[in-house]
Structure 1
Amino acid sequence: MPLALLALAIAAFGIGTTEFVMMGLLPNVADDLGTSVPTAGHLVSAYAIGVVVGAPLLTALGTRVPRKRMLLALMGLFTLGNLASALAPGYETLLAGRFLAGLPHGAFFGLGAVVATRLVAPERRARAVASMFLGLTVATIVGVPLGTLLGQHLGWRSTFLVVTAIGLIAMAALARLIPQLSEESRPRLRQEVRELRRPQVLLAMATTIVGMASIFAVYTYLSSMMTKVTGFSDSAMTLVLALFGVGMTLGALIGGPLADRALRPTLYGALTGLTAMLGLFHFTAEHKATALASVVLIGMAGFLACTPLQVLVMEKASAAPTLAASSTQSAFNIANAFGAWAAGAAVSAGWGWTAPATVAAVLAGGGLVIAVAAGLLDRARPDRSESRVVATGERAVLEDVHTS
């Protein structure tokens, strides 16, 4: 794999750390700023809203900007948002800093996915995308636990200062390792938006929202399930969350090569496995050994589905890959909010602390149904006009292939 993918992975590591570390720092932030933990929880929502808003907006604004320059600008905005968070004098300014840090998230991953596929041969594109997202999964194993530990001992501001430093390192790596890619034949914004409305693209987005909501439904309440049902202590939660990250990393490593060989079957298999594991988690959560094994397998199955979903959207909107890929990140964050809300509603209804696993299994099954329906539609009604990208070296020529 090209060394340039390392630069994208470093950036993904920083983004993943700042996205998830706030969940572990909420009590510290609440105490320091004199607010409640539920109110501090809005800082997580502020970042997610920034992702949803920023993904299409910044992608649209950067349509005519050279890709390498745009990657650096997005990483610069991310770094500025984390610095603003570290220096925020109060709750409102920290809220603004979190929103600012979230703005470039989707656009960066969308553009980064396109750049990653340009750096490798067509048959290795899923592996290239998975390599970038590997930085995100490693963040859940290393960045988030260490960031939480640092914030608990040296104050939450120190965590965001470290993430700021990671952002600067990522910018240096991007500037040094990412080559100047050809900017010929890039689609106009109107064409990108038109491609985004194609049925297969919308179905892939729906699969992402419904299917991936299952992961966030169970992840949001994982600590509560492990302490109240399984019997782990609060201090053991760092290990449990790290094991979930190990599963995600395994999913990323396995998912890339499998998706390159068989895109849709990999997606079907991942969602089937995810549905089964979440359904069983209602029972396996009762015992520590089976609970820990389930945590790893759920994380693995969940992230095994992420790479084929990202590549599928880019494939079905191949004349608008950047906007499509960045919009997928918005879909993931909508899934985050939807999954957490659905699981929370089940707990509030008195269904017990294993209810998030049951809700998650239903959501994963729903994602599988949508994915299979999209596959059947693809066979029954192939698009009349398909677009494909043919890459030669660093030059990409966009061809429209019309079928009668």
Structure 2
Amino acid sequence: MSSVAAAAFTLVLSEFIVVAVLPDLVRQFGVSAGTAGLTLVLPGLLAAVAAPVLTLAFGSLDRRVVLWGLTGIVALSDLLAALAPGFALVMAARLLLGAAIGAFWTIGAGVGPRLVPAARVTRATSLIMAGISAGTVVSLPLGNLVAQHWGWRSALFGVGALSILALLLQLRVLPRMPAGRALHASDVFGLLRRPRARIGLVLSALLFFGHFGAYTFVSSYLGDRAGFSAGTVAVLLLLYGIAGFAGNFTAGATLDRSLPATLGIAAAILALSVLALGIWHAPPLVIVALGAWGIGFGAVPLSLQTNMMRDQAAEGALALFVTVSQLSLAAGSFAGGLVVDHAGLATDYLVFALPAVAAVLVAATALRRLR
């Protein structure tokens, strides 16, 4: 499990480090903040398509071989982006990353049940998600730190090197994982007939849309609106990431007791913290709200994945989850860019707190009835 968690760590680090270096991309290539945000939007769109397509295409392959290939693609995309002479090649490298993201979130996150006994599946999935949370912890502060001292290209080179190390670890320790019965389209899209899957997808859409509509511009918010220095922003982003790590493990401990309560409380914390950031920007309140936001969203992906995997084919359910979550991520980032460009950062945070509020209501009603 540790090698899969390491790959998840480098994947998330690769995906979100562009949030930390977004201002550098704006300055380097002379594009607007909204255009630079496409480095997060377009990979999300491709990941949404790649999740079901590549899951079906890889149906008969050993999952170990698939994970090797996906981790190698992540490393390649990081190195290409670091070497890119223009914004177009940066986008091409990010699209390559998007394909790997879609397949990894489906196949990588779904291997837990194949590596541990049934009683430890939630804990194993939590360990993989811990890699994701750890990537969230370090992506923004590490990206800021490296970019400040050695430039944004060095940050991407470093992430590429970590991806290569994760691949070497997988080559050493991953056991064979034969695919078993090949998936068919009906195994994926047939899940839409199940109420739990439909409700889970609605929750995924609301929470990812709301979160990334605000999160994509968190570095700009902390620097431009809250007035923190670049060094302080790096520290605050580390605080956010550590809080997310804590939220992930808290959810791992409470999901088996009550999934609706865990997800509903996480969504409520997310909504309230983003709303608070939209209303107030006094530094002490920003610090508290940012930490709460990290805890809230830290619990969200594991809770949503656990809901999708319960009583359903893991890879098929996760393929749908990845498609909806990545589409919502892309839509949220894109819409957030429009709001920021035309109405400002404060309005952006007020607008994107609303989908999380709606998710609280869904979790408290429709999801609770499935218990």
Q: Are 2:317 and 1:324 equivalent residues in the alignment?
A: yes
Residue aligning to 2:347: 355
Q: Deviations over 1:124-170 (max 9, x none)?
A: 32222221122222223324422343344434333322222222211
Q: Are 2:301 and 1:301 equivalent residues in the alignment?
A: no
Q: Are 2:54 and 1:61 equivalent residues in the alignment?
A: no
Q: CA separation in 2, counterparts of 1:355 and 1:126?
A: 38
Residue aligning to 1:392: none
Residue aligning to 1:120: 116
Q: CA separation in 2, counterparts of 1:55 and 1:275?
A: 28
1:355 partner amino acid: T
Residue aligning to 2:329: 336
Residue aligning to 1:105: 101
What is the deviation of 1:10? 1.2
Question: Taking every aligned residue pair, what percent have the same amino acid on both sides?
Answer: 28
Q: CA separation in 1, counterparts of 2:32 and 2:353?
A: 32
1:335 partner amino acid: S
CA contact (8 A) 2:265 2:360 kept: no
Residue of 176, 190, 193 corresponding to 1:194: 190
What is the deviation of 1:65? 0.9
Q: Deviations over 1:314-368 (max 9, x none)?
A: 225x23x213213323322223233345555655675x64333332332111112
Q: CA separation in 1, counterparts of 2:144 and 2:356?
A: 30
CA contact (8 A) 1:204 1:371 kept: no
Which structure 2 residues correspond to residues 356-395 of structure 1 after superposition, within 5 A?
356-375=348-367, 378=370
Tell me: CA distance 1:162–1:196, structure 2 relative to 1, closer, same or farther (3 Å). farther
CA contact (8 A) 2:189 2:320 kept: no
Q: Are 2:131 and 1:139 equivalent residues in the alignment?
A: no
CA contact (8 A) 1:140 1:241 kept: no
Residue of 68, 78, 83 corresponding to 1:82: 78
Tell me: CA distance 1:280–1:54, structure 2 relative to 1, closer, same or farther (3 Å). same
1:337 partner amino acid: A
Higher alpha-carbon deviation: 337-346 or 20-29: 337-346
Q: CA separation in 1, counterparts of 2:30 and 2:259?
A: 49
Residue of 203, 206, 225 corresponding to 2:202: 206
Residue aligning to 2:283: 288
What is the deviation of 1:270? 1.8
CA contact (8 A) 2:308 2:317 kept: yes
Residue aligning to 2:245: 249
Residue aligning to 1:315: 310
Q: CA separation in 2, counterparts of 1:99 and 1:172?
A: 24
Secondary structure at the counterpart of residue 108 of structure 2: helix
Residue aligning to 2:157: 161
CA contact (8 A) 1:217 1:360 kept: yes
CA contact (8 A) 2:261 2:364 kept: no
Residue of 8, 12, 19 corresponding to 1:23: 19
CA contact (8 A) 1:72 1:171 kept: yes
What is the deviation of 1:254? 0.9
Tell me: CA distance 1:359–1:39, structure 2 relative to 1, closer, same or farther (3 Å). closer
1:302 partner amino acid: F
2:133 partner amino acid: T
CA contact (8 A) 1:7 1:178 kept: yes
CA contact (8 A) 1:63 1:189 kept: no
2:146 partner amino acid: L
Residue aligning to 1:218: 214
Q: CA separation in 1, counterparts of 2:75 and 2:342?
A: 41
Residue aligning to 1:393: none
Q: CA separation in 2, counterparts of 1:143 and 1:25?
A: 10
Q: CA separation in 2, counterparts of 1:303 and 1:369?
A: 19
Q: Whose Rg is larger?
A: 1
Higher alpha-carbon deviation: 271-280 or 197-206: 271-280
What is the deviation of 1:53? 2.4
Higher alpha-carbon deviation: 79-88 or 10-19: 79-88
Tell me: CA distance 1:205–1:183, structure 2 relative to 1, closer, same or farther (3 Å). same
Residue aligning to 1:94: 90
Higher relative contact order (CA 8 A, sep 6+): 2
TM-score under structure 1 length normalisation = 0.82
Q: CA separation in 2, counterparts of 1:77 and 1:344?
A: 28
Q: CA separation in 2, counterparts of 1:280 and 1:123?
A: 39
Structure 2 unaligned blocks of 5 or more: none
Higher alpha-carbon deviation: 255-264 or 58-67: 255-264
Aligned length: 371
Task: Find runs of 4+ consecutive structure 1 residues off by over 6 angstroms.
Answer: none
Q: Deviations over 1:283-320 (max 9, x none)?
A: 5x34322321111111101121221101111225x23x
